[in-house]
Amino acid sequence: MTQASDQPPASNPASIRIIVLWGALYGAVWSLAPGCISKLLSTPGEAATVILAGAVTGMLVSAALAPGLARCNRWQAVCLGVVSLPLGAGLFGFVASWIHWLVMKLTGTHYRFVMQIVEPPGHIFDPLQTARDYALSATLSVLGIVFIPLAIFTTLHLRRRLVPALSVVQA
C-alpha cells in the first residue's frame, strides 16, 4: 500500500478534485471583489465573463499552490498566501482580458478589457498591462489591507482541504 502523499497533488485524484472544485469556488468568490470595485458586474454578460475568469483563475492559482502547500508548514503556507494575492490578481486580469477578447470575437460585444479605440475610455487590448495593474492595485494599494489577510485565509483553507486528501491511504 502507498500513501497518497507519496504522489504529487497533480497526480492524486482526490487532490485534483479539491483543486478544481475549491479553486473554482475561491476564484468565483474572489472575482466579486474586482467585479464590484471596477464595476465589472454592470451587465449580466460582463458579470458572467468576470465570474468565469475568476473560476479559471482560482483553479490555476490552486494548482500552482498545491505542490507547495502539500509539503509546507502553517507559516510557510501563510507566506504562500501572501504570494497568492498578486499571482491571482494578475492572472485574473490576464484571463479576464482573454475571455473578453473571445466574447468580442464570437459575439461582437465589447467589454471593459477589449474596447474599440473610439469608445471612451479608449482602452486597447493589453492583457499583460491589465494583469500588472490588477496585481499592483490588489497588493500595493489600500485594498491590500483587506485582500492580503483574505488571500492568506483562502490559502490556509485550501491547505486544510488538501493535506487530508494527500494523507488518505490508497490500495
What single string gives the DSSP state of each residue in 34-71?
Answer: HHHHTT--SSHHHHHHHHHHHHHHHHHHHHHHHHHHHH
Predicted pLDDT at 169: 35
Strand partners, 169: 3
Task: Look at the chain and count its residues.
Answer: 171
- Is residue 107 within 8 A of residue 101, CB to CB? The reply is no
CB-count exposure of residue 41 (10 Å: 0-12, 13-18, 19+): middle
Domain count, the chain: 1
Is there a cis peptide before residue 121, judged by omega within 30 degrees of 0?
Answer: yes
Predicted pLDDT at 28: 95
Predicted pLDDT at 156: 95
What residues make up the domain containing 97?
2-170
Predicted pLDDT at 125: 78
Neighbours of 79 (CB within 10 A): 13
Predicted pLDDT at 119: 53
Predicted pLDDT at 34: 87
What pTM value is reported for the model?
Answer: 0.84
Predicted pLDDT at 171: 36
Identify the CA nearest to 159 among candidates 85, 99, 96, 78: 78
What are the pLDDT tens digits along the chain (171 aa)? 344 445 566 567 778 888 999 999 999 999 999 889 888 888 999 999 999 999 999 999 999 999 999 889 999 999 999 999 999 999 999 999 999 989 988 998 888 877 654 455 555 778 898 899 999 999 999 999 999 999 999 999 999 988 876 555 343
